[in-house]
Amino acid sequence: MSKEIVEHVELMETRWRARKASRSRNMLSSLENQVVNLEEFVGDMKETLEIVMGRIEDLSSIRKDFKDFVWETLRSTSDKLTVRDNALKAMVTTMKEEIVELKRELIIYKVVLGSKVLT
């Protein structure tokens, strides 16, 4: 009997070791799958990061072009307004000179009419 018990114990130990080895293989396989998934995820993230960085560079270039366009438009508008302002100043000066001339003529006409009325 003791031989049977020893064999039984050895059989149980063998089963326990087999289960332990099976669990270890399962854990190892699971960890390997997780590593593969993580490596794929990291690869996908690197690709996404490269795309994002490319888009950032594109936006930076567009921003610079837009900034240059806005400044050029402001300069052009400012130049046009300066030309118009100068033209209006010239017109006002001319009109003031005409008003002065018309006032002189009015004074002359008043003097002439006043002297005719008196005579």
Query: pLDDT in tens for each of the 119 residues of the chain?
Result: 576 766 666 666 776 766 777 777 788 888 999 999 999 999 999 999 999 999 999 999 999 999 999 999 999 999 999 999 999 999 999 999 999 999 999 999 988 888 776 66
DSSP state of 1: -
Residue 78 to residue 3: CA distance in whole angstroms: 110
Residue 11's pLDDT is 64
The residue with tokens 């087999």 is 18
Distance CA 109, CA 105 (A): 6
How much is the pLDDT for 58? 94
Q: CA-to-CA distance for 115 and 102, rounded, in angstroms?
A: 20
Q: What global pTM score does this model have?
A: 0.49
Cα–Cα distances in angstroms (integers) from residue 81 to residues 56, 67, 72, 85, 90, in the given order: 37, 21, 14, 6, 14
